[in-house]
Chain A
Amino acid sequence: GENVEQHPSTLSVQEGDSAVIKCTYSDSASNYFPWYKQELGKGPQLIIDIRSNVGEKKDQRIAVTLNKTAKHFSLHITETQPEDSAVYFCAAPRGKLQFGAGTQVVVTP
């Protein structure tokens, strides 16, 4: 099975609403959980990351929460804007870095 499961695979939201993407991982020893944003024709770019010694981290309209007991972490985007439309990937180290399958986020005006 997948080492990092990401849901949903697609997410359509109205501009101004919130978006939430969730990832679950299998290795309880994982300590670093990044989120990447990939715009069309570009490489993934880190937008936020969290380490296992904190439960939540915010950066303006984006936040990441971590539940180590349940082995899941989530990306929260508030007050979505059209420029938030992209593919978002979570990742977790399991030996090497394992990526989720991605979430296509579409923000409609």
Chain B
Amino acid sequence: NAGVTQTPKFQVLKTGQSMTLQCAQDMNHEYMSWYRQDPGMGLRLIHYSVGAGITDQGEVPNGYNVSRSTTEDFPLRLLSAAPSQTSVYFCASSEMDGWEQPQHFGDGTRLSIL
């Protein structure tokens, strides 16, 4: 059972470039979320989805887009990368009523914007 799989594990981009961070889960979870982790700031919610075709903004959505065409996949797109988006990005999934259920995290994508 793979759980939550994130790719790539590392990425370096130049300012202005775009890219997509991939996230897939094999647990048939309805909720999926993207967080960014910065030193001293814990995990901040970027975007989330409560099911296929439904997405919503979290605490820090600016500069990011998401879509949810299948239950399994929840990609995060950086439209025009900025140095402030240098961070570690985590994808998570959970069952229905996801905010009061255990979150299952991937191992993260470490992203550097030059």
Contact surface of A with B, Cβ cutoff 8 Å: 4, 6, 9, 31-32, 34, 36, 41-46, 49, 51, 89, 93, 95-97, 99-102
Interchain CB contact under 8 A, B58 and A89: no
Interchain CB contact under 8 A, A43 and B108: yes
Cα(A51)–Cα(B97), bound, Å: 14
| In the complex, residue of chain A having the shortest beta-carbon distance to the beta carbon of B43 | A99
- Among B42, B59, B106, the residue within 8 A (CB) of A89 is B42
A51 contacts which chain B residues (CB < 8 A)?
A: 100
Interchain CB contact under 8 A, A101 and B42: yes
- Among B42, B59, B100, B105, the residue within 8 A (CB) of A43 is B105
Q: Which of the four size classes fits the interface of chain B?
A: 20 to 34
A102 contacts which chain B residues (CB < 8 A)?
A: 40, 42
Interchain CB contact under 8 A, A96 and B100: no
Contact surface of B with A, Cβ cutoff 8 Å: 4, 33, 35, 40-45, 48, 58-59, 90, 92, 99-108
Q: For the complex formed, measure the closest distance between the CB of A28 and the CB atoms of chain B, giving whole angstroms.
A: 15
Interchain CB contact under 8 A, A43 and B41: no
CB-CB nearest 7 A-B residue pairs: A43-B105, A32-B100, A99-B42, A99-B43, A93-B99, A101-B42, A46-B102
| In the complex, residue of chain A having the shortest beta-carbon distance to the beta carbon of B48 | A96
| In the complex, residue of chain A having the shortest beta-carbon distance to the beta carbon of B102 | A46
